[in-house]
């Protein structure tokens, strides 16, 4: 029970930090900051095709 209680406490603290934290990473995060990344924001290597820069419609990304 004690381990479960500790995990729940950590989850609540992390949830609070995420809700009150920095929402967009415009630079390196400092200690104590959490960031929720935007899944629709184009990020090379994550949600863009490998050859997106050679695509004639690259500005669509």
Over residues 12-61, the pLDDT tens digits come to 877 777 777 655 556 666 766 666 667 777 778 777 888 888 887 766 65
What is the rounded distance in angstroms from the CA atom of residue 41 to the CA atom of residue 47? 8
Q: Which helix (H) or strand (E) holds 16?
A: helix 2-20
Q: Tell me the CA distances in angstroms from 34 to 7, 19, 30, 42, one per residue in order.
A: 18, 9, 9, 20
Total domains present in the chain: 1
Q: Which domain holds residue 50?
A: 1-58
pTM of the model: 0.38
Residue 10 predicted with pLDDT over 80? yes
């Amino acid at each position: 029970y004690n381990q479960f209680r500790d995990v729940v406490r950590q989850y609540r603290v992390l949830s609070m930090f995420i809700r009150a934290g920095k929402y967009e990473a415009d630079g390196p995060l400092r200690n104590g900051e959490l960031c929720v990344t935007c899944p629709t924001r184009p990020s090379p290597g994550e949600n863009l095709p490998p050859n997106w820069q050679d695509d004639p419609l690259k500005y669509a990304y």
